[in-house]
Structure 1
Amino acid sequence: MSAILARKLVDYSSLSLGNMATVYPADHPTLAGEPFSLQEYYARHAPNGSLALLFMPISRHSQNVLASSNRSATISVADDHPDASRARVALIGTVTIFKDLSTAPDVAAIQKCYLKQHPDARHWLPGPREPHIAYWARFDPHTIYYVGGFGSEHYIGYIPLEAYQTAGSVQYDQTAKNIGSGRLHEQIRIL
């Protein structure tokens, strides 16, 4: 159940907006090794829970990811109306950057999906544009940490990656009846 709720939280966020966290590179003149977190747009696209990102090398996150040997980042997503009793999830993973549009898988579908969730991004899509360069990127989570709400009432902990990846839309419909309107809370515990 936690995997389904975590995927629903990420996949059906009305804003498709999370906080991305990266780390300043070792050669940064003043903030080497320090964490950096800021809101970042994403789009749910892949059935396995990977996310599409508009990757702009001018952004601090992009610079940190490019300087990271393993291209690591964390994206955290919370309920649209966050408070301590509501669910939130942290996806820890890696970013694959598609600098060459011809190597990006299914560019037309990614662009359509991204623009559906973020129509304002049409001005910054990858391709020959000025003033900023942009690429498509894919965020692949490898570790999932879920907080269902208060610990005495809800699951808090890691969710197996396979469970998160396979928690699909068929299960959402069945689970929706067990989820309060707008509130993602667990009716049962698993794990």
Structure 2
Amino acid sequence: MMLQATLAFVVIYAALQFAFLLPFVSADEHNPKQAAPLARQLVSLSKIGELATVMAPGVRAGREHYPFSTPEYISDECPSSGSPLLYLVTWGTHARNARASPHASVSFRHPNFTLTPPDSRGELDEARVSLLGDLVKVEGEDEIKNAQECFFARHPDAKEFPHHSAFYRLEVQDVRWIGGFGDRHFNGWIPAELYLSKPEGPALQMQGNGLTRRGKKLRID
């Protein structure tokens, strides 16, 4: 009798847990249109991105055309355009690569969460996005001033960089979205025109000083 009662409790508890999770599962993205606002907001909220450029001849012997990537400060433009700004040391590897070939990508991942949701299946079930495009140097007095105001508001310490640096904008040509595991997330390409069109949707929402997605709270530093 006791065993039957215990089994009944376990079944009812599991059913309630599943019902509780349904709203979060149903809110996930399933196509490019639903993923586009997620991608835009993830880029807008991020302060660090993984910049990848193509190794130029003369930068490192025998490594021409290899991919080269490092984490870099980034900032969305002001107002948000979805095209990230970067502040690169002019004699650094990325800037030298960009002068030979502008092709580049910047990748972002969902920020570290401080409260694990009940449906979490690990970090690889969290969103990440890669923007593919061309690195274009920001030029013109007004353009540079706007970039400075926007970027330094996000990264005040960048004003004190000891080396000569220049602003670059990644002009987005394509977007690759990985929402998480494919059984309940969209994983695929988002057309650049859809990503850049200021898509609207529930997607990521700020609550207080945190970011929520499927019921988890994330720290945005």
TM range (shorter): 0.7 to 0.9
TM-score, structure 2 length as denominator? 0.68
Amino acid at match of 1:9: L
Aligned equivalent of 2:183: 152
CA separation of 1:78/1:175 partners in 2, compared to 1, >3 Å: closer, same or farther? closer
Query: Where in structure 1 are there 5+ consecutive unaligned residues?
Result: 125-130, 184-191
TM-score, structure 1 length as denominator? 0.78
1:33-112 equivalences under 5 Å are: 33-45=65-77, 47-68=80-101, 71-81=102-112, 83-98=123-138, 103-112=140-149
Determine the C-alpha separation between the residues in 2 that align with 1:150 and 1:138.
Answer: 31
Number of residues paired by the alignment?
A: 167
Amino acid at match of 1:118: H
* Secondary structure at the counterpart of residue 49 of structure 1: coil
Determine the C-alpha separation between the residues in 2 that align with 1:65 and 1:104.
Answer: 21
- CA drift at 1:157: 0.3
Kept after mapping to 1: 8 A contact 2:38/2:204: no
- CA drift at 1:49: 1.2
Structure (1 or 2) with the larger CA radius of gyration: 2
CA separation of 1:64/1:31 partners in 2, compared to 1, >3 Å: closer, same or farther? same
Determine the C-alpha separation between the residues in 1 that align with 2:155 and 2:137.
Answer: 19
Query: Where in structure 2 are there 5+ consecutive unaligned residues?
Result: 1-33, 113-121, 206-211
Aligned match of 2:48 in 10, 14, 17? 17
String of CA shifts for 1:21-64, please: whole Å, max 9, x gaps: 11212444131221111101111015431121112222211111
Kept after mapping to 1: 8 A contact 2:41/2:204: no
